Amino acid sequence: MKYQIINRFDGSLIFEAEADSLKSAVKAAFALKISLSFANLSRANLSCANLSLADLSCANLSCADLSCANLSLTNLSCANLSLADLSLADLSGANLFLADLSGAGGINKYRVTPLLFLLDQPGKIRAYKLVTSVNVGPFNGGIMYEVGKTYEVESADVNESEQCGAGINLATLDWCMKEWKKGYKILIAEFEAKDIAVIPTATDGKFRVHRCTIIGEKDLKELGVVK
């Protein structure tokens, strides 16, 4: 039987193959190194499929059966995984930035979210805040951060499925360096575990806090970001 994999947005053909199932067609596309970015795989049965390193960015995987699938190092950024079955799926190293995980089942957040260790830290914790040349966040802005001041957002988004939501978004140093652009600064923020609003499941390095104090700024030359 001929199976087609279609672009979820414009209906164009991404890949087609004679196969015994859609899962086999997906495996064939992956074996040929064909990007499945934007693919419409809604409700597909991909259980136990080896999709490690696959490009599934922006793919529609809503309601798909991904149980026991190998998704390690898979690019799932912006993918729609709402209501997908991810029980026992290997998501180690997967890129889930801006992925929709609402209603997805079977995710063991402790296996895919290393930053959860922050919740067990005693006393003061430090992380980093990427800001523009005018000291506001590069994505949603709103707050102008200054060294020595404390900031608070009581209404920070606490949804673990939301990778980027309302609140004070902090990150690891490597995340800030990857997102850095000319003119940006990397501030040092201090907070306690009780101040954490949420650490999104499978975050790529960002998390949200209700409150923090900006205590300094990183030396970009020391980091090798600028000369």
Q: The domain that contains 73 carries what CATH number?
A: 2.160.20.80
**pLDDT number for residue 17:** 93
If asked whether residues 198 and 175 sit together in one domain, one would say: yes
**pLDDT number for residue 204:** 84
Number of Cβ atoms within 10 Å of the Cβ of 10: 7
Q: Looking at 45-59, 155-169, 211-225, which range is the least confident one? A: 155-169
User: Considering 56, 73, 108, which residue would you say is the last residue of a domain?
Assistant: 108
Q: Which helix H or strand E contains 207, and what residues bound it?
A: strand 206-209
If asked whether residues 119 and 52 sit together in one domain, one would say: no
What is the rounded CA–CA span in Å between residue 52 and residue 37? Answer: 14
If asked whether residues 3 and 76 sit together in one domain, one would say: yes
If asked whether residues 103 and 156 sit together in one domain, one would say: no
Average pLDDT over residues 7-29: 94
pTM, two decimal places: 0.78
User: Considering 108, 124, 145, which residue would you say is the last residue of a domain?
Assistant: 108
If asked whether residues 125 and 102 sit together in one domain, one would say: no
Average pLDDT over residues 199-207: 90
If asked whether residues 118 and 81 sit together in one domain, one would say: no
If asked whether residues 84 and 162 sit together in one domain, one would say: no
In the chain, which residue ranges form alpha helices assigned H by DSSP? 22-31, 109-112, 173-179, 220-223
Q: Please report which confidence band the pLDDT of residue 112 belongs to, taking 50, 70 and 90 as the band edges.
A: confident
Please give the backbone phi and psi of residue 109, each rounded to the nearest 5 degrees, phi first: -60, -25
How many domains is the chain partitioned into structurally? 2
If asked whether residues 130 and 210 sit together in one domain, one would say: yes
What is the rounded CA–CA span in Å between residue 83 and residue 91? Answer: 16
If asked whether residues 40 and 79 sit together in one domain, one would say: yes
Sign of the torsion angle spanned by Cα atoms 85, 98, 220, 145: negative
User: Considering 51, 78, 108, which residue would you say is the last residue of a domain?
Assistant: 108
pLDDT digits (tens, 9 = 90+) for 142-177: 899 999 999 999 999 999 888 888 899 999 999 999
Q: Looking up tokens 């006393």, which residue turns up?
A: 123
Average pLDDT over residues 122-139: 95
Average pLDDT over residues 32-56: 95
Longest Cα–Cα distance in the chain: 66
If asked whether residues 91 and 133 sit together in one domain, one would say: no
What is the rounded CA–CA span in Å between residue 71 and residue 26? Answer: 13
If asked whether residues 78 and 128 sit together in one domain, one would say: no
Residues 13, 2 contacting (CB under 8 angstroms): no
Write out the residue range of the structural domain in which residue 213 sits: 114-223
If asked whether residues 123 and 166 sit together in one domain, one would say: yes
